[in-house]
Amino acid sequence: MDDLLVDFLTETNESLAELDVALVRLERTPDDQLTLSLIFRLVHTIKGTCGFLGLPRLERVAHAAENVLGRVRDGELAATSAIVSAVLAALDRIKEIMAGLAEAGAEPAGADDALIGALDTAAAGREATAPSRDTDLPLAEPPLGEVTTPAPREGADAVVAGQTIRVGVDVLEDLMTLVSELVLTRNQLLQLARNEQNSAFAVPLQRLSHITTDLQEGVMKTRMQPIGNAWNKLPRLVRDLGHELGKKIDLVMRGAETELDRQVLELIKDPLTHMVRNSADHGLEGSEERRAAGKPETGRITLNAYHEGGHIIIEIADDGRGLSIERIRAKAQALGLASEVELAAMSERQIQRFIFHAGFSTAAAITAVSGRGVGMDVVKTNIERIGGTIDLKSTQGAGTIFTIKIPLTLAIVAALIVEAGGERFAIPQISVVELVRAGLAGEAASDQPVIERINETPVLRLRDRLLPLVNLRELLGLGAAVGVAREFYIVIAQVGSSLIGVIVDRVFDTEEIVVKPVAPILRHITMFSGNTILGDGSVIMILDPNGVARASGSAGNGESRKPLPATAETMTSAARTAMLLFRVGESAPKAVPLGLIARLEDIPRERIETSSGQAVMQYRGRLMPLIPFASATLAGESQAVLVFSDGTRFMGLMVDEIVDVMDEVLHIELGTETAGLLGSAVIGGRATDVIDTDYWLRLAYQDWFRAGHDPHPGALAPHLLLVEDSEFFRQLLVPVLVAAGYRVSAVESAAQALRLRAAGTRVDAIISDIVMPDMDGRAFARAIREDGAWRGLPLIAFSGRAEPADIAASRQAGFTEHIAKSERDKLLATLRDQLAPVGVESGVGAESGVAP
Amino acid sequence: MPAAEAAGADEERVFVTLMLADQLCGIPVLAVRDVLAARNITRIPLAPAEIAGSLNLRGRIVTAIDLRRRLGLPPPPEAASRMAVVTEQGGELYALLVDQVSEVLSLAARDFEHNPPTLPMLWASHSAGIYRLPGRLMVVLDVGRILALTAAQ
């Protein structure tokens, strides 16, 4: 292909991109003479060049389009949607021919008569209805301010042309690599110089350092492009989508001049296009629906880009219907991403993030535009691949905002250097939220974040949040720490929308690092996103917080994990208990507190085996006994099973059907004679049997409760009141207490507890947190001791801090005992002592005629 | 494949010789980019056991492979200094850690033998054949197969 043709192709492609944008603008503001003449000029140029180069097909199409535009320009036709469509169709044809031309070096064969016929028809004004616009023509001399903005082409280009040259992208890439190396070498030299006082090199080195920095910036600048380059296809896309879907859509683009590295730009182009398409298709409602919802008929998609501390933030917002939490929840369950129980414990935000899962599309109908199953998961993967993050905020009825945060450049990033197990690692600064120094529960200074343990799992209590913790040393298999640390350095990292605490041994500086991919034979270690060379010349690995979170999520085999909320975002309606309803036979629905259930399973019948008369199944590598609930039918292809777990063992309760999960304020009427039932309660307006979990657990394992005690047979279980403001601890403690045989009421504040007292609720002992908002535990204790029905009750303080002074203060306030939150066994022992004598010899084993 | 079959018996091939637990081995000289002392190797957690870590070779990151481990040999005595033979594959650099690097030998094809069938599996699968040297044998290491560490452990 000759040079002339190559130049023509490059130039015309640029013109075409500009034309797309300009035409859509024209459609919206048909009177914009500047845009109109820009379009006319561009098409005219294409036509002229085609004629010169001897490209007859292109010339004919361009000529026909120019005819139409000429009449519009002369005011003989109005730029209606039909006319713009006709011209856009012509542009598409031109692109097609150009593609063929680029491939073969000659125009591809084909007939354009129909298209040209349509254009001629349009030019003849037969389809156009609008009158001519002669009267508006005084606009020929527009206000000065507008002259420069839309079309800087002719004037500006003439000046600029001599000062720009085209440089191959690979040359720039090579330059960037070299500069990266130079930066590294500079860092190394600086490190060496720092160790030597009064070195003669110091001054020239300083100068070298400055020049290197300038050079780095300069080279980076050559790679910078305005993000508008990635956006210029979007107006056309949105316009076409609007026509196709019958929606009116406005696309607003802000910050198009924001610059970022062209490598990054290339990588986000597709995700962005996909997201805008999604917003137009799924996000925005049709005109009818919008009118009905009291919104303006025209939907709006807003793109906004701006810089923020070394990153570029891109927002894609629509004012559409927002994400349907219900639909996502249902879909997540249908896809088996989470069980009903887990979903019930999740916040709205966590549920919304399911749309980033593979194969997740909530569109009720699959349209041609989107909803093809590859969706937001691909977007998320692509963005994470370049070290970015994506988040969303959606309000039902008001719209959705996606926020993408990506580094300006991939080549050089700031990273925090940490040490674990004698090795150093880099954590990209973009995901580091903060650094904290935490102490152990019970010995930390009062304002210091505290590490607490739940079972064996450490969590960090930071201000009012609980964060999952991973120990980098353990995670990477670098051996256990020597001695017992009293203080921990924790890097709080952002992973998606949640935070995770990474325990490290030491924290060094932040350093600018050049990210290099790891060797192919190490790519399977997902915990590393690359490696780099530090200023001192040593090689270190770059941690990928996403990988760390993923690895830690599976590290515990998931066995000891109860479906607790991942973060301690407070949930509402704390006085209510989530109850799982299920059905067995024709009798009244049965209910069990959701907190006691580890999982809900639907098991294919053939997986159920029989071992010495007992139904069992393989479950997570062990045999799990299956107990049929009373008269369960045990037929059909699959069996619904409620799985209970104490962390190490599992037991399955076979029921006919899992009905629902309901939040209810529980008032259990006790005193039923039926084995296996605790009593009945009104749930969802119906009388429901609440099952006695103990009873069923004991059928499976005689020794389910390790202590071997059988404290409270029958319905006489002591009633405990738990006052604890943290949802997390309530969730944690209630099942433990229930499993120990107590009836438990949990409230989130002292005030609620006092209301129960006023209502005449009978309890046998009270467990209270100390640090609570409004009325703290000690004030609560004083109020209890002062007067009322509860004044003589055992009152146990259960607190994160248990220094001698704390204990004394609690006693002073009227607490019977003060126990640290980490000492759950002591709590149970104290309860046993305080509530003794209880526990007649159990008869449960003998009356268990229900067992198979 | 050894060139011995295609070329004449007099054609010579050049090898960098090295020691691995008292066994003389050779790597074709054209496959060797660099020889350096194995120092400042960063451990890579969770990597396959054969991977000793990574090191910095004039601004490039090189993955170091412990040849003793790769060939199922016992670990070297403590505090023994080791050498690294740097080789390239698919644009990536790898350093093979060996006990010692000695001279460069030019060997005639007529001295080449295929692996004897009794050679231990690990050796046989990483060796391209054997050269008969005066008084001793030299195992030709097949760099490609040594580097073919499967990613999936």
Q: Residue B96 has what pLDDT?
A: 94
Spell out which residues of chain A touch residue B86, defining contact as CB-CB under 8 Å.
none
Distance CA A433, CA A371 (A): 34
Residue B91 lies in a domain: yes
Q: Which of A522, A529, A542, A554 is most worth mutating to test chain B (most B CB atoms within 10 A of its CB)? A: A522
- Tokens, residue A811: 């006693």
Taking one residue from A and the other from B, the number of pairs with CB-CB distance under 8 angstroms is: 67
pLDDT on residue A848: 35
Q: What is the pLDDT of residue B25?
A: 93
Quote the pLDDT of residue A132.
Answer: 37
Cβ contact, residue pair A539, B46, below 8 Å: no
- Across the interface, whether the CB atoms of B147 and A184 are under 8 A apart is answered no
The answer to whether A227 and A314 are in contact (CB under 8 A) is: yes
Instruction: Tell me the residue ranges of DSSP E strands in A565-608.
Output: 577-583, 590-593, 597-604
> Do residues B143 and B98 touch, judged by C-beta distance below 8 A?
no
How far does Cα B69 stand from its chain's mean position?
12
pLDDT above 90 (res B64): yes
Q: Which residues of A touch B63 (CB under 8 A)?
A: 519, 521-522
- A289: three-class secondary structure by DSSP: helix
CB B132 within 8 A of CB B111: yes
pLDDT at A483: 62
Closest-CA residue to A420 (of A545, A518, A507, A495): A507
Interface check A189 vs B, CB under 8 A:
no
Q: What is the number of alpha carbons within 13 Å of residue A611 lying toward its C-beta?
A: 12
Q: Which domains does chain A have, with CATH numbers?
A: 3-163 (1.20.120.160), 169-225 (1.10.287), 227-407 (3.30.565.10), 414-545 (2.40.50.180), 570-704 (2.40.50.180), 713-852 (3.40.50.2300)
Q: Which of B54, B92, B147 sits opposite A539 (nearest CB)?
A: B54
ipTM, 2 dp? 0.84
Task: Identify the residue among B36, B43, B56 best suited for mutation to test binding to A, counting A beta carbons within 10 A and taking the highest.
Answer: B56
Is B51 in CB contact (< 8 Å) with chain A? yes
Total of domains in chain B:
1
**DSSP H/E element including A209:** helix A202-223
Query: How many helices (DSSP H) and strands (DSSP E) are in chain A?
Result: 25, 35
Residue A410's pLDDT is 67
Q: Which domain holds residue B50?
A: 13-147
Q: Does the CB of B40 have a partner CB in chain A at under 8 Å? A: yes
Strands (E), A749-835: 765-768, 795-799, 817-820
Look at residue B117 and tell me if it is in a domain. yes
Cβ–Cβ contact A435 with B under 8 A: no
Residue B26 placed within a domain? yes
DSSP helix/strand/coil, A65: helix
Closest-CA distance, A440 to chain B, in angstroms, reads 27
pLDDT given for residue A155 in this prediction: 40
A191 phi and psi angles, rounded to 5 deg: -60, -45
Distance, in Å, from the CA atom of A160 to the CA atom of A165, rounded to the nearest integer, reads 10
Q: Which amino acid is at A352?
A: Q
Amino acid, single-letter form, for residue A187 = N
Q: Are A658 and A340 in contact (CB under 8 A)?
A: yes
In a domain, B141, yes or no: yes
**At CA A185, angle to CA A181 and CA A187, rounded to 5?**
115
A477 with B63: Cβ contact below 8 A: no
The verdict on B102 touching A (C-beta cutoff 8 Å) is no
Instruction: Give the per-residue pLDDT at A367.
Output: 45
What pLDDT, on the 0 to 100 scale, is given for residue A156? 38
> With an 8 Å Cβ cutoff, is B39 touching chain A?
no
**Which residues on chain A are in Cβ contact (under 8 Å) with B149?**
521
Give me the CATH number covering residue B100. Answer: 2.40.50.180
* Inter-chain touch B56–A537, beta carbons under 8 Å: yes
B54 within a domain of the structure (yes/no) = yes
pLDDT digits (tens, 9 = 90+) for A5-52: 777 788 788 888 888 888 888 888 877 888 888 888 888 888 777 777
Q: Is residue A228 within a helix (H) or strand (E), and if so which, with residue range?
A: helix A228-231
Residue to mutate among B41, B46, B96, with most A CBs inside 10 A, is: B46
Chain B neighbors of A532, CB-CB under 8 A: 61
State the smallest CA–CA distance between residue A181 and chain B in angstroms. Answer: 7
* A chain contacts of residue B44, beta-carbon cutoff 8 Å: 522, 525, 528, 541
* Domain presence at residue B1: no
Please give the residue of chain A at the shortest CA–CA distance from B59: A181
| Partner A contacted by B135 (CB < 8 A) | no
Nearest CA in chain B to A185: B59
pLDDT of amino acid B99? 92
A448 SS3 class: coil
Contacts of A537 in chain B (CB under 8 A): 40, 56
Q: Determine the average pLDDT of the residues in B95-119.
A: 89
Q: For residue B64, list chain A residues with Cβ-Cβ distance below 8 A.
A: none
**Which of B42, B55, B149 faces A521 most closely, judged by CB atoms?**
B149
Instruction: Say yes or no for a CB contact (<8 Å) between A537 and B48.
Output: no
Pairing verdict, β A450-454 and A432-440: parallel
Instruction: Label residue A805 left, alpha or beta by phi (over 0 means left) and psi (-120 to 50 means alpha).
Output: alpha
| Residue B95: CA count within 13 A, CB half-sphere | 27
Across the interface, whether the CB atoms of B90 and A520 are under 8 A apart is answered yes
State how far the Cα of A598 lies from the Cα of A607, in Å rounded to an integer: 19
| Omega cis (within 30) before A837 | yes
- pLDDT for position A20: 83
Whether B6 is in a domain gets the answer no
Structural domain includes residue B152: no
- Residue A128 CA to residue A105 CA, distance in Å, equals 38
Among candidates A152, A164, A115, which has minimal Cα distance to A41?
A: A152
- Judging contacts by C-beta atoms under 8 Å, the chain B residues touching residue A531 are 54, 61
Beta bridge partners of A494: A499
A-chain CB neighbours of B51 within 8 Å are 521-522
Distance spanning both ends of chain A, measured CA to CA: 84
Taken in order A561, A564, A566, A568, is the CA torsion positive or negative? negative
SS (H, E, C) A358-389: CCCCCCCCCCCCCCCCCCHHHHHHHHHHCCCE
Say yes or no: A214 contacts chain B, CB-CB below 8 A: no
Does this model's pTM top 0.90? no
Residues in chain A, pLDDT under 50: 128-161, 364-374, 554-575, 671, 705-715, 838-852
Q: Which residues of A touch B55 (CB under 8 A)?
A: 539
| Distance separating alpha carbons of residues B48 and B52, to the nearest angstrom | 9
Start-end of H helices in B27-107? 67-70
Candidate from A477, A523, A531 with C-beta closest to B46: A477
pLDDT value of position B3 = 44
**Distance (Å, whole) CA A462 – CA B124:** 58
Q: For residues A847 and B126, what is the distance between their CA atoms, to the nearest angstrom?
A: 69
In A, which residues are within 8 Å of B89 by CB distance? none
Mark yes or no for CB contact A539/B42 under 8 Å: yes
Confidence (pLDDT) at A220: 79
The closest CB to that of A538, out of B56, B59, B94, belongs to B56
Contact, A3 vs A27, CB < 8 A?
Answer: no
Query: In whole angstroms, what separates CA A157 from the centre of its chain?
Result: 45
